[in-house]
Amino acid sequence: MSEQSDQATAKGHSVIQGYLKSIDGSPGVYRMLDEKGAVLYVGKARILKARVSSYARPTGHSPRIARMIRETVSMMFLTTRTETEALLLEQNLIKQLKPRYNVLLRDDKSFPNILVSKEHEFPQIKKHRGAKKEKGDYYGPFASAGAVNRTLNQLQKVFLLRNCSDATFESRTRPCLLYQIKRCSGPCVGLISEADYSGLVKDAERFLQGRTTSVQEHLASEMQTASDAMEFERAAALRDRLRALTFVQGNQAVNPAGVNEADVIALHMDGGQACVQVFFIRGNQNWGNRDFYPRTGSGADAAEVMQAFMGQFYADKEPPRSVILSDAIEDADLMADALSEKAGRRVEILVPQRGEKKELVAGALRNARESLARKMSETATQARLLNGLAEAFDLDGPPARVEVYDNSHIQGAHAVGAMIVAGAEGFLKSQYRKFNIKGDDLTPGDDFGMMKEVLTRRFKRLLKEDPDRQSGAWPDLLLIDGGAGQVSVVHEIMAELGVEDVPMVGVAKGVDRDHGKEEFYRIGQRPFALRRGDPVLYFVQRMRDEAHRFAIGTHRAKRSKAIGATPLDEVPGVGATRKRALLAHFGSAKAVGRAALEDLKAVDGVSSALAQTIYDFFHEKG
C-alpha cells in the first residue's frame, strides 16, 4: 500500500480537483477531512481517480454529498491491490474513525452460541459467548441470550443433557433437582452409561443441525423396541421425550423448510432513520432476530445503508452460507467475494423475488417497520423528557448525555462505583462503566471518599483523552445519588480538576425516604422538589434506579468472584483447566495444599515442574 496526503486552505471542489494529478487508476480507499483534520467520510473505489473526479464536479450531487464536499479541506488516499481488499479496509476504517457522513453500525455486540463441550466423557451443553477456544461443537449464532436459554430449556426436556460445571459434576453424590424433574439423565451418579449418554448427545446435535425427523424416528424406534421387550418404564420415558420434542416443534417460530443456513437482513427507512432486522436461520430453524439502528450518514440511500451494514456486521462474525436481503446493494459480487474469503467457503447474496425466501424477507421487513415506528415514538418521548429536565434544572438546553453515579458495598467490603448514561436514545448501556474502589486509605463505608475516587478517575481520564470535548463523551449533566453533602463533595472534586462548567444535581430520597418525595440539591441554591406525577420526576427516578441496579449487580458479581476464589488462583502456571483438574482430583483447595509432591504429579496435566511450583507455593506460605 502507498499513502499520500496534502493540506489546503481552500474548501470543496477546487481542493478535490487538485488531487486528480497525483492519483492513478488503482483501487483503494479515500478519506475526506475537514479544516480541523476530522474525517468526514471514508469511501472505497475500484478506480480512485474516477471516483475522486466525480466529487470534483460542481453539480449533480445529492444534498448530503454536496454538504460533505463543501466541508472538505483535504483528502488522504490508500491504494490497495484489489477492490475486495479496499472494501475490507473501508469498513475497518469506518468502524475505527466513525466519520460523520458514513453509515455507522452503532450496536455491534457479540452473539451467543450453544456449546456441546467435548472435554469430558459426559459432555456438558451450555451457553457460550466470545472466542471459540473451548473444545467442542458450537451452534449459532442465536439472536439473544433469551433465544439460547429457550433452546437449552427445550434440549434439557428432550435430551436430558447435563448443564452443570465439571467441578459440580465431580462433587455430586446424589442426583440434583434437574434429574428429579426429568431434565437430566443423572450421569454424575452413574444413572446412565457413557454409551447411552453419547447417544443423547448425538440426538441433541442432530436436532441443532435441523435433522429433527431422524431424531423423532430414532426415538420412536427405541420406544417400540423397549415396548416389545416389555421394558414399559423405559418406553414411557421415551414416549415423554417424543412428546416433548413434538411440543417444541409445534411451538417454535416459523421454520423454513427450504432454507438451511442463512441470515435474513431487512431494512426499513423513514424520516432519515433506519432499522435493520436480522433473522438467524440455522438447521432450518429460526434462532431469533435482532434489530439495529445504524446512523444513516445524514441521508444515505437504502443500497448504501445495506452495504455498509453488511460490511461492518460481518467484520468480526462468520457469515452463513446465504445472506438474504430486502434491498440490493451496489457491489453484491464484491461483497460476496469478501464474505467468501472470510468464511473460507462460498457465500451467496440473494434478493429474492418470490417463494419462501421472499416470505422470510417480508416477515423481517414487517418487524423492521414496526420496530422503527416504536423507536421513533420512544425517541420523541425521550426528547420531551430531556427538554423537561433542562427546564426543571435551569440548564442551557436539553442534555445530550446524562451521567448518573452510585456506589455499592457491604460495610465497605467489595466496594464498587457505577456510572450509567442516558441520552436521546434512552439508556446507553455500552457507555456504562464500573469502578473497583482502590483507595487503601478509605474508611470502610466512606461514601464521600468512594464518590471522590470514582469522579476523580472518570474526569482525569476525560481530560487526558478528550480535552477539547469533541468525542461526545463529556456529560451535560451529572446526577448524584445523595443530598447536600454529596453535592458539596462533588463540587470540590470538580473544582480541583478545573471542571466547573458541568451542571450537577443531587437526588435525595426526601421525607421518609419515600419514592415520589425526592428532593434535588444544587450548589448555592435551596433544595426543591417536583410535583408528584411529573414525567420528569419519573424519568429521574428511572435513571437513579438504573444506576442503583447496575451498582448492585456489579457489587454482587465482585462479591461472588471473591467468594469463589481459591488459593489456587494465585499459583503461577495454574489456569482454569489445571485448577479444575486439581479440584476434581483432590476435592478442595485445602486438600491440594496438604498434598504430597508425588500426589500432585499424578494429576492429569500437571508436570513435575508445576507440581513442584504448587507444592512450594503452599508450603512456603504455611
87 with 42: CB under 8 angstroms?
no
What's 401-562's CATH class? alpha beta
Measured CA to CA, the distance from residue 237 to residue 242 in angstroms comes to 9
Question: Which residue, among 599, 621, 620, has the nearest Cα to 611 in the 3D structure?
Answer: 599
d(CA 420, CA 512): 26
Q: In angstroms, what CA-CA distances link 266 with 169, 254, 289, 359?
A: 44, 17, 11, 12
The string of pLDDT tens digits covering residues 339-390 is 999 899 999 999 999 999 999 999 999 999 999 998 888 888 899 999 999 9
**Contact between residue 409 and residue 415 where contact means Cβ atoms under 8 Å apart:** yes
What is the model's pLDDT at position 510? 63
Contacts 24+ apart (CB under 8 A), 155-158: 155/114, 155/125, 155/204, 155/207, 155/208, 156/183, 156/184, 157/182, 157/183, 157/241, 157/244, 157/248, 158/203, 158/204, 158/207, 158/241, 158/244, 158/245, 158/248
User: Is 74 in contact with 93 (CB distance < 8 Å)?
Assistant: no
- CA pair distance 372, 292, nearest whole angstrom: 9
**Is 499 strand, coil or helix?**
coil
At residue 4, the pLDDT reads 44
Enumerate the CATH 3.30.420.340 domain ranges in the chain, comma separated.
401-562
* Architecture of the 567-621 domain: Orthogonal Bundle (1.10)
pLDDT digits (tens, 9 = 90+) for 543-587: 999 998 888 887 777 666 655 556 777 788 888 788 878 877 887
Query: Contact, 47 vs 56, CB < 8 A?
Result: no
Q: How many helices (H) and strands (E) does the chain have?
A: 20, 19
Q: Where in the chain is the domain with CATH 3.40.1440.10?
A: 3-97
The CATH number that domain 261-282+290-373 falls under is 3.30.420
Q: What is the CA radius of gyration of the chain?
A: 30
Half-sphere exposure of 93 (CA within 13 A, CB side): 23
Which residue ranges of the chain lie beneath pLDDT 70? 1-9, 108, 212-216, 234, 241, 243-255, 409-414, 439-445, 510-516, 558-566, 620-622
Q: φ, ψ for residue 481 (rounded to 5)?
A: -75, 100
Tally of CA atoms within 13 A in the half-sphere of 343 that contains its CB:
18
Helix, strand, or coil here: 519?
Answer: strand
- For 359-416, give the DSSP string: HHHHHHHHHHHHHHHHHHHHHHHHHHHHHHHHHHTT-SS--SEEEEEEEEEETTEEEE
Residues of the chain with CATH 1.10.150.20: 567-621
The confidence score (pLDDT) of residue 559 equals 65
- Which numeric CATH code is attached to 3-97? 3.40.1440.10
CA dist 168 and 584 (Å) reads 9
Q: In the structure grid, which three cell numbers stand for residue 53, read together?
A: 473526479
Residue 152 and residue 248 in contact, taking contact as beta carbons nearer than 8 Å: no
Q: Residue 108 has what pLDDT?
A: 65
- Residue located via cell numbers 486438600: 591
